[in-house]
Amino acid sequence: MRNFESLGVTDHPGVRIATLNRPEAHNPLSLATIDELGRVLSEAEADGCSCLIVTGAGDRTFSAGGDLKEFAELKTAESAIAMSLRMQRVSRAMRRSPLIVIAAMNGDAYGGGLELSLGADIRVAAVHARFAFYQVKLGITPAWRGAIRLRDIMPRSRALMLLAGGERFSAEDALRWGLVDQLAEKGHALESALKLAQTMAGNSALAVRTIKAMVDAPRRDNDDDLDREAELFSRAWMSDEHWDALASRHPTTVKE
């Protein structure tokens, strides 16, 4: 296990797990944590992983959001902008990463912690978890791509209700609204996320990465898009993983 200042990192075949590791403080996101998340993502990509899971230590809180004690020192517009861009870039990197990123929401997620989860491709939440975009209660707005990510998930009117109202809602509501994709029993969010990740990691890493690229491709449906999909498909088709899998099912099949 490789330990950073506020993250624990563990490995399973094809899967890396990053754990926000300050449960006594509800797993806050400090500037150091933000940077470490970016490092873990980059290293997982370089190491050929198929999936990255982000979770929190304990079963009370996934993350209560930004480290307010540290962020209270941001006294200028310039420092606030720098902090916002720092996490926005990590969130964007998660979305653009070839890895499937899964948030295993082991407990409550508020404010920036909920925004962090929205940077993931898939969210698995413990059934007892509660959520809220509390930023408006502090007189601020989401700063880490939360508004646009939420708008991608649900109707504009509901996104406005959640963001501008700032009220808490349940895991069942989050599932019904599409904010989370799967529920798990208390204490089993990471286990469920890992099972899902291992299923994906058991497939060709190239195919999994290419599928994410296809799902995220622009939806213009023009000739360039057709050519791009055909090119991505051809890379997977010509890969050793494809021909090995085909040969295991049809032993007479041989790649020229």
Give the CATH number of domain 2-201; options: 3.30.930.10, 3.30.365.10, 3.30.390.30, 3.90.226.10.
3.90.226.10
pLDDT 10s digit of each residue in the chain, 256 long? Answer: 466 788 999 999 999 999 999 999 999 999 999 999 999 999 999 999 999 999 999 999 999 999 988 888 988 999 999 989 999 999 999 999 999 999 999 999 999 999 999 999 999 999 999 999 999 998 989 999 999 999 999 999 999 999 999 999 999 999 999 999 999 999 999 999 999 999 999 998 889 999 999 898 887 778 887 787 888 888 887 888 877 777 777 776 656 6
Report whether 86 contacts 35 (CB < 8 A). Answer: yes
Q: Which tokens is 133 given?
A: 């975009």
Distance from C-alpha of 254 to C-alpha of 256, rounded to nearest angstrom: 6
Q: Which tokens is 90 given?
A: 């990590």
SS (H, E, C) 79-135: HHHHHHHHHHHHHHHHHHCCCEEEEEECCEEECHHHHHHHCCCEEEEECCCEEECHH
pLDDT at 3 (0 to 100): 61
Q: In what order do the strands lie in the sheet with 15-20?
A: 2-3, 7-12, 15-20, 51-56, 100-105, 122-126, 182-184
